[in-house]
Every structure is written in structure tokens, then in C-alpha cells.
Amino acid sequence: MAKSSRQSDLGPLQQRLGYQFHNPQLLLQALTHKSYAKENNERLEFVGDALLGYLVGSMLYRKYPQVQEDALSLMRAELVRGQTLAILARELDLAPLLRLGSGELKSGGRQRDSILANAVEAVIGATHEDGGIQPCVGLVDMLYAERIENLDAESLKDAKTQLQELLQGQGLELPVYEIQDITGADHQRQYCVSCSVAALNKSASASASSRRGAEKAAAQLVLAQVRSEGADHE
């Protein structure tokens, strides 16, 4: 009985999604955390993650025909990152509908960004598995059209440029990038690079298949650290 009553609670959510499920059990599964049941949302999350990256990438490609691949990748990463997905989950009011085990409930799982983000991806996956690609395209467009339209111009700049401009704006020394390690065969080379901002006591390391890629990734991590603390260094 509890199961059917939960399914009956999904009507308002389907209205918010703009899609009526043929099989509401799929939507219920998308809202089921692994702590609650063996049949949970992890597989649907896997599908939704792939679809989200593809569909958001396609939207960006059409919207910004003059923007190069590296900038498009940064824009997509910003749009599909966990924090953004958690915001979408709250806009859709998913939290009250999540099915969580008692331990997750007691520890505040309904408000945990990672759980909310995974649920959004699972809902996208469930929409595809229930109705195919078209309703999935419609859902992602509904969730992201305005966000893509209103992307800040700063998101078009790579992390190294953003970090440099932020530090210059505060009169601070530029970051220092150092190669920490190089591994792998010639055709599978991996560079580990550190990015350090001595004035703010911030540093991070990241790896990529190119030195420039590793520098960008490390800069992104430091940039996130600085922004999370407000970078209040006058």
C-alpha cells in the first residue's frame, strides 16, 4: 500500500517535469536511493548522466557557434556539475519525494547535494527509458534553456584566465604552476600539475593528458577554493 501511495504522490512532480510517465514505477525508482532498496536509481543515474552531457553539449553548440571546444567544455562542466544539479533538484522539489534508508534520513540525506544531483540525473534517465529521446530533450530544454541563455560571460573564459584576472584585480601575485609528475607511455602520457597562490595560501593539483589541460584543471580547483571563501583579501 505504501508503494502505491507514493506513486500517487508523483502527479505534481510529473506536472513540474512536463511529462506524464507511462510507467510511474520508473520515476519512483529514480527517486530511490541505494540505502532504501536494492532496486535503486544508480542505473538510471548512469543513463541520465550520459544523456545530460550530450544534450547540454548540443544546446551549447547551437547557441554559441563561435565558441571553441575548450570553452564549450568549461560551460558544460559548469551546467552539469553536482551543485547545479542540486539546485535543479530543489527547484523541482525532489527532496520530499526521495526514498532514503533510515541512516541517510537521520543524517540529512534529503538535503545532501550529491543525493539530490544523482536524483536529477536518474529522473532524466527514467524519462528516456519511459518515453524515449523526445521527452528527454524536452525535459533538459525546460531545465536548461534559460540557464544557457543567461550564461555569464566569465564562464566562456578558461579557469587559468579567470584565476589570473581575479588575482590581478586584487593586486596579488599570479599563480605558480609546477609539474609534479609525468606518467604513462608516450601515447598515454599523464601530467600532474600543481597550482599555488602563495598570497592566499591556496594550492591544488590535477592530472590530464596534456600539461595545459592539467594546469587548467588545477586552476579550476584553486578558483573554486578562492570563490568559496569569498576571496576577501584586499
Q: Which residues are catalytic, by number?
A: 49, 121
Cα of first residue to Cα of last residue in the chain, in angstroms, is: 61
d(CA 148, CA 78): 10
On the 0-12 / 13-18 / 19+ scale of CB atoms within 10 A, 224 is middle
What is the DSSP secondary-structure string of 30-93?
HTB-TTT-SS-SHHHHHHHHHHHHHHHHHHHHHH-TTS-HHHHHHHHHHHHSHHHHHHHHHHTT
